Structure 1
Amino acid sequence: MKNITKLMMATTLAVGTFAAGCQTTPSVTAPVSQPITTEALQAHNWQLVDAKRSNGEKVTQLFFDPAKPLTLNFMNDNGTDRVAFVNTCNNLAAEYSVVNGNVQLNNVMATMMACPEPQASFDTATLATVQGKYSMSKNADNLPILTIKNDNQVAHFKAVDK
């Protein structure tokens, strides 16, 4: 009986060790690129989460009020595709089109209020941020991310419900 108990304990230990060695760790995947389409842009609002200059410095003008982040609202307005830049001091918007997977902003419109600082700098930084090459991906949590890159900076926006 003593030998059977020892054999059972040894077997349990061996199986437990073997099973622990065969466990897989969760894979961390790189972002998966998605095509830029009007439908994909309009499916969500896009809230700024990060913006850095080419030298790695944060674009601080875009983060002066964390309660009101820059948000892009792509929409169709009576047959015209538009994007509104939300939380700016002036009302900023533009017509846009997607041509060969690239977002092109046309006819950027803005009210002309004399905004105090830091709101005036926020508006200026917004206009600089939205000009560039747009790309869309999904992060490791399978959430959509919109990236806008130009010669001076890279900005990342997360998808939020409309």
Structure 2
Amino acid sequence: MKNMKTVMMAVTFAVGALAAGCQTTANLPAPVSQPITSDVLQAYNWQLVDAKRSNGDQITQLFFDPAKPLTLNFMSDNGRDYMAFMNTCNNMSAGYSVVNGDVQIKNGISTMMACPEPQASFDTAATATVQGKYSLSKNAKNVPILTIKNDNQVAYFKAVSK
């Protein structure tokens, strides 16, 4: 009888702890999606924090130098919106527009320096990374996160002050 009472107390405690844990996670806010506008994109620089292929493998070409991550700088000049790539070997930029919340990249330009490896692969991977569906959310620390997803990969950029 004493063993049965101990077992019942243990089960009661375990169920109570499980329920308390569920209530805690149920009260956490879900990631909040935000509309994409040029103003939001231009408010920050966007530093790459993760990029994975559709099979889950990291895109290693984008992480060869952790001290110089791919960073996107959206800006406007004389009414023209464009994005500059930071930390690439070549100077690279592209025009962009936001149409109904979708970012459209166009007219990419680049210097044509003969970059050695791994910088050449970094530049190529950077160009592929900005093509796709853009979305904005905030992480658990309330930092804006820009996600770019296409059929081949997904990349996450955190907002950093300009």
Is TM > 0.5 for Structure 1 vs Structure 2? yes
**Secondary structure of the equivalent of 1:33?**
coil
Partners of 1:30 and 1:140 within 8 A in 2: no
Larger radius of gyration: 1
The worse-fitting range, judged by mean Cα deviation, of 24-33 and 68-77 is: 24-33
Corresponding position of 1:13:
none
Partners of 1:44 and 1:159 within 8 A in 2: yes
Q: Distance in 2 between matches of 1:91 and 1:71?
A: 12
- Match for 2:88: what amino acid? T
Query: How many equivalent residue pairs?
Result: 140
Q: Distance in 2 between matches of 1:35 and 1:121?
A: 32
Q: Distance in 2 between matches of 1:87 and 1:101?
A: 27
Corresponding position of 1:92:
92
**Secondary structure of the equivalent of 1:75?**
strand
Q: CA RMSD in A?
A: 1.3
Corresponding position of 1:160:
160
Corresponding position of 1:137:
137
Identity among equivalent positions (%) equals: 76
- Match for 1:118: what amino acid? P
Partners of 1:46 and 1:146 within 8 A in 2: yes
Matches within 5 A, 1:4-153: 25=24, 27-153=27-153
Structure 1 moving runs of 4+ over 2 Å: 24-30
Q: Distance in 1 between matches of 2:24 and 2:82?
A: 44
Corresponding position of 1:14:
none
- Match for 2:130: what amino acid? V
Q: Distance in 1 between matches of 2:57 and 2:94?
A: 27
CA drift of 1:25 comes to: 4.6
List gaps (5 residues or longer) in structure 2. 1-19
The normalised TM-score by structure 1 is 0.83
